Chain A
């Protein structure tokens, strides 16, 4: 069965540093991985998608990588700000079905 893991429940980081979140998948290679941001009391919001044939994607201060050998995606936030504090969800899927990880709660400390 599809399984996706985010191995850090929480991550605290100093403002201005780069935050790196990890997402691991098992059993099979997804067609793509997505990253979402979720704030308390709100639904997740889409940030980035990376496909299996892509190594890296960037969007402003965000960067995501996809390593099919390690079966892992890394999500980076450079020059982190307190406003980046939220839970970040990794999701893997093909066309029809998307499976979410448990999320990593990021706290950026001023």
Chain B
């Protein structure tokens, strides 16, 4: 079973530029998450999708961040314009049907550096 794919793995941009990240979840997983992980901290949920609908985006800075999940499969996360404090690893995770573990499967992340 293929895991969660993310691209790019690394991105360096200047502040005020735009950037987009892509995630392909595990096949058949209806739930998809985007997290921001700042160095030395735990993952912070930005947005959660159930199929192509948003379940929770309460911590998404909507003035600069946007995300979509067209057709309930792949997802993109965009930052426009980027700020220095957006430097972090952006993790995508997916989860299948609820089971005894409710585990999330994470991708390798995209490391963003904003200069």
State the A residues within 8 Å of B (CB).
6, 9, 32, 34, 41-46, 49, 89, 91, 93, 95-103
| Interface contact A42-B108, CB-CB below 8 Å | yes
By DSSP majority rule, is chain B's interface helix, strand, loop, or mixed?
loop
**Is the CB–CB distance between A97 and B48 below 8 Å?**
yes
Closest partner residue, chain A, to B99 (CB atom): A49
* Given A99-B45, A102-B41, 17 extra CB contacts under 8 A: A6-B42, A41-B108, A41-B109, A42-B109, A43-B91, A43-B107, A49-B102, A89-B42, A89-B43, A93-B102, A96-B48, A96-B56, A98-B45, A98-B102, A100-B42, A101-B42, A103-B42
Task: Answer whether residue B71 sits at the interface, using C-beta atoms and an 8 A cutoff.
Answer: no
User: Once bound together, how far apart are the Cα atoms of A95 and B55, in whole Å?
Assistant: 12
Give chain A residues whose Cβ lies under 8 Å from the Cβ of B93. 43
B43 in contact with A44 (CB, 8 Å)? yes
Q: How many angstroms from the CA of A103 to the CA of B106 in the assembled complex?
A: 16
Residues of chain A within 8 A (CB-CB) of B40 are 9, 102
Alpha-carbon gap, A100 to B35, bound state (A): 10
CB distance B55 to A96 under 8 Å?
A: yes
Given A46, A95, A99, which contacts B103 in the complex, CB threshold below 8 Å? A46
How distant is the Cα of A101 from the Cα of B44 in the complex, in angstroms?
9
* Chain A residue contacts of B48, Cβ below 8 A: 96-97
Most buried by B among A44, A96, A102: A44
Q: Is the CB of A46 within 8 A of B55?
A: no
